[in-house]
A and B are shown apart, each in its own frame.
Chain A
Amino acid sequence: GIQVEQSPPDLILQEGANSTLRCNFSDSVNNLQWFHQNPWGQLINLFYIPSGTKQNGRLSATTVATERYSLLYISSSQTTDSGVYFCAVHTGGFKTIFGAGTRLFVKA
């Protein structure tokens, strides 16, 4: 089946720093999402982004479907950005496969 790999696995940032998280996938996909799981376990959808670039405040995402990767940019990081960021791909309709995540800790 399709493989979804995220990097880096762990990231520690000083508040105010910028970061880029990467998601590679091994086959063509119908869609791609980025999620944030906060320290209390809640999963929040950040972006639906099968291709192109989207921005939402300090977060933006770019997917290059032909090269099978997506990037999530976090600018001016805040302590509330801490948590785990997941990339998830849709194959064959709505079947969703998650990557292992990038664990982010932002220090005050």
Chain B
Amino acid sequence: DAGVIQSPRHEVTEMGQEVTLRCKPISGHDYLFWYRQTMMRGLELLIYFNNNVPIDDSGMPEDRFSAKMPNASFSTLKIQPSEPRDSAVYFCASSSSTAYSYTFGSGTRLTVV
């Protein structure tokens, strides 16, 4: 298995633009998580899905952020419009409720200028 795959690895965009981050979880995992990591706030859980259904989105900072999981093999995190304070590393992770294997992707480093 190739692990959790995130794209792009790096994204530089101008303030006000729409940004879409993508994640392919490990096949067979029924949980998917989106995290944001910054120096000031550490690792924050933004939202997580179980069997493609959003379970808890209380960590999503504001309405500019949205996440979808249209099927078991793909999820997106969208920021519209982006702001400089959204600059961070965004991680996707997937897990299996039966096997307790929790795997992170390599992250997307987002810079909003």
Contacts between chains A and B (CB distance < 8 A), count: 45
Q: Are B45 and A96 in contact (CB under 8 A)?
A: yes
Q: Are A41 and B106 in contact (CB under 8 A)?
A: yes
B109 nearest in chain A by CB position = A41
Q: Are B33 and A98 in contact (CB under 8 A)?
A: no
Check if B61 is an interface residue, CB within 8 A of chain A.
Answer: no
Selecting from A20-28, A42-50, A57-65, A74-82, the interface stretch reads A42-50
Question: Which residues of A lie under 8 Å from residue B104 when comparing CB positions?
Answer: 35, 42-45
Which A residues are closer than 8 A to B by beta carbons? 31, 33, 35, 41-45, 48, 86, 88, 92-101
Between-chain CB contacts (< 8 Å), 12 pairs: A41-B89, A41-B106, A44-B104, A45-B102, A88-B43, A94-B33, A94-B50, A94-B97, A95-B45, A95-B56, A96-B45, A100-B42
